[in-house]
């Protein structure tokens, strides 16, 4: 049973979502403030964090910043104000895995949680399929969720890992944003959704540039993205 931590100052909403999550087979805990949320999130007791952006005191953005400074692997789903692209982009840049605009239905929230967990809690593959993936100077171990770039470990969030894995598996060919969303986020690409672009921008920053001054992840305008083999 996956433990879900919900951090939201709306006590009524927190109680309602907690009850719904428990009916759906999760163990859920709701806390009403960012300070407590950070402490609980870093306890190692939870499988996923649902974090509201707009909270008094320590808001969701600053709470996420503190969490990601110590834990890059805990999946984080942000609750953002509908239409507030700034909070969404900042949250994704800081390492959130996905977001849901408020007000949202409990059913939509659970669907997003399950989509994230499907990619982060997959059983380890058999020995026959556990060989690392390689593309140029990058080596990726799917079962260990570990990546090395030019011989050094690469720290990625769970969603960044998912996206990079999809691109590396198809290295040398263009992968559409729709494919990336389905395979890495576990959901169809929504209209005007910039999640893929923001996550890939973060991965590019971590990879740096090749000797020719180009990123190993290339944008193919109108088609998608490609991991370029060296």
Residue 92 sits in the same domain as residue 152: no
- In terms of pTM, does the model score above 0.85? no
Task: For residue 199, give the nearest of 69, 73, 116, 91 by alpha carbon.
Answer: 91
Nearest-angstrom CA–CA distance, 207 and 127: 29
Residue 134 sits in the same domain as residue 96: no
DSSP state of 104: -
**Dihedral-angle region of residue 222 (phi above 0 means left; psi in -120 to 50 means alpha; beta otherwise):** left
In the block, residue with structure tokens 């007791």: 45
User: What CATH number is associated with residue 147?
Assistant: 1.10.10.10
Cβ within 8 Å of residue 164, ≥6 positions away: 138, 140, 147, 156, 203, 227
Domain boundary pick from 64, 86, 120: 120
Residue 72 sits in the same domain as residue 151: no
Domain boundary pick from 56, 85, 120: 120
Domain boundary pick from 120, 145, 173: 120
Domain region containing 42: 3-120
Tell me what percent of the residues of the chain surpass a pLDDT of 90.
71
Going 104 to 107 to 113 to 115, the CA torsion angle's sign is negative
pLDDT digits (tens, 9 = 90+) for 70-95: 998 899 999 998 667 888 899 999 99
Confidence of residue 126 (pLDDT cuts 50, 70, 90): very low
Gyration radius of the chain's alpha carbons: 18
Residue 105 sits in the same domain as residue 196: no
**Structural domains counted in the chain:** 2
pLDDT score recorded for residue 125: 44
User: What CATH number is associated with residue 82?
Assistant: 3.40.50.2300
Strand, coil or helix: 20: helix
Confidence of residue 122 (pLDDT cuts 50, 70, 90): low
In this predicted structure, the answer to whether residue 36 has a pLDDT above a threshold of 90 is yes
């Amino acid at each position: 049973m996956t433990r879900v931590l919900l951090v939201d100052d709306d006590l009524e909403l927190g109680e309602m979502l907690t009850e719904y999550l428990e009916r759906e087979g999760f163990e859920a805990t709701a806390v009403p403030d960012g300070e407590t949320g950070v402490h609980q999130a870093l306890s190692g007791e939870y499988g996923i964090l649902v974090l509201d952006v707009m909270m008094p005191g320590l808001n969701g953005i600053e709470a996420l910043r503190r969490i990601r400074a110590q834990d890059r692997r805990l999946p984080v789903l942000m609750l953002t104000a509908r239409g507030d692209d700034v909070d969404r982009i900042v949250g994704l840049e800081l390492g959130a895995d996905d977001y849901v605009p408020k007000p949202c239905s409990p059913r939509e929230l659970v669907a997003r949680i399950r989509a994230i967990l499907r990619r982060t809690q997959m059983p380890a593959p058999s020995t026959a399929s556990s060989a690392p993936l390689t593309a140029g100077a990058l080596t990726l171990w799917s079962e260990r969720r570990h990546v090395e770039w030019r011989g050094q470990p690469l720290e990625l969030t769970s969603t960044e890992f998912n996206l990079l894995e999809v691109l590396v598996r198809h290295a040398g060919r263009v992968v559409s944003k729709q494919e990336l969303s389905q395979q890495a986020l576990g959901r169809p690409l929504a209209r005007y959704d910039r999640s893929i672009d923001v996550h890939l921008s973060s991965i590019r920053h971590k990879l740096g540039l090749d000797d020719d001054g180009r990123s190993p992840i290339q944008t193919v305008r109108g088609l998608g993205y490609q991991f370029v083999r060296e």
